[in-house]
Amino acid sequence: MAQVTASLVKDLRDRTGLGMMECKRALNDADGDIEKAIEELRKSSGMKAAKKAGRTAADGLVAVKAENGYGLVLEVNSETDFVARDEGFKGFVSSVLDAAYAGRETDIAAVMAGELESAREALVQKIGENISPRRADSIEAPVVGGYVHSNNRIAVVVGLTGGDEALARDVAMHVAAVNPVVVSSDQMPAEVIEAERAIYTAQAADSGKPAEIVEKMIEGRVNKFLKEGSLVDQPFVKDPDTTVGKLVAAGGAEIVGFVRFEVGEGIEKEEVDFAAEVAAQVQGAK
């Protein structure tokens, strides 16, 4: 019998979306042949999940839980917004969030081990779409506050030293709306600054202005970029006459950090041409 390695199990899981133990059993039964294992899985109760797992899950929900100095943000993906509104899907997201929060665990594989993975598989079978708990992140601070946008597509958790939960929630609401890059400009990665500087240098090269003026133009644009991307320098969304930094300072606090998740960000969603798909199916049936 061929050896069923952990990497082989992972490959099958990635291709089918099924549980680790189910994939391992299938590979053992197929003597390590992954294609045969997939074929057999399609004949078994895992057929629907196996068919759907290759589909891009780029919709879904984000969720936050923040209390007692610890805040956690979670994203769980589905293929469509329709499923994201399903009560069964929402209940599953809540279960994953509670488990991650209780264990203070942001490793999705660790969170999903055991009963939650079985629950995921059952939900995939029921609704016929790929469901994928994607990521989690957390913050620990003396004060934490969370905010979820009304459509459950953007979620933020903010940590403060000083202040109170209401202040942290206000800052989280601002982060959801404005999407800063860093807390303060000194945290902006050097490579990001240099990339922006290169763009501004190229733009100023053809201005015809003296070199010293060009340099001032470039530095001015870099400084503007840093302020626009830095949370403490941004005009507060609920009161543009003050900055977030001043708001927090007035509350006797400092910002430790923030985490912002938006559903599907960074996922390259496949664009489906349904007319072409139907035409191809008709052509194939001839």
| DSSP state letter for 149 | -
State pLDDT tens for residues 188-242.
999 999 988 888 888 887 777 888 888 888 999 999 999 999 999 999 999 999 9
Number of domains in the chain: 3
pLDDT band at 272 (very low <50, low <70, confident <90, very high): very low
Name the band, by pLDDT with cuts 50, 70 and 90, for residue 23: confident
In a domain, 279, yes or no: no
Domain residue limits at 156? 59-185+234-262
Considering the domain architecture, whether residues 103 and 144 belong to the same structural domain is answered as yes
CATH of the domain at 239: 3.30.479.20
- 146, pLDDT greater than 70: yes
User: Would you say the pTM of this structure is higher than 0.85?
Assistant: no
Q: Is there a single domain that holds both residue 98 and residue 40?
A: no
E-strand ranges in the chain read 59-67, 70-78, 132-140, 143-148, 154-161, 235-236, 239-243, 254-262
Q: Say if residue 120 is in the same domain as residue 170.
A: yes
Find out whether 124 and 17 touch, Cβ atoms under 8 Å.
yes
Residue 180 shares a structural domain with residue 84: yes
For 46-52, what is the mean pLDDT?
46
CATH classification of the domain holding 17? 1.10.8.10
Is 92 part of a structural domain of the chain? yes
Note whether 40 and 166 are same-domain residues.
no
Regarding whether 181 and 89 lie in a shared domain, the answer is: yes
* 27 contacts 5 by C-beta, under 8 angstroms: no
Q: In this structure, are 132 and 177 located in the same domain?
A: yes
Is the same domain home to 194 and 181? no
Residues 145 and 175 sit within 8 Å (Cβ to Cβ): no
pLDDT in the model for residue 201: 86
H or E element in which residue 195 lies: helix 190-204
Residues 140 and 241 in one domain: yes
**Residues 34, 119 within the same domain:** no
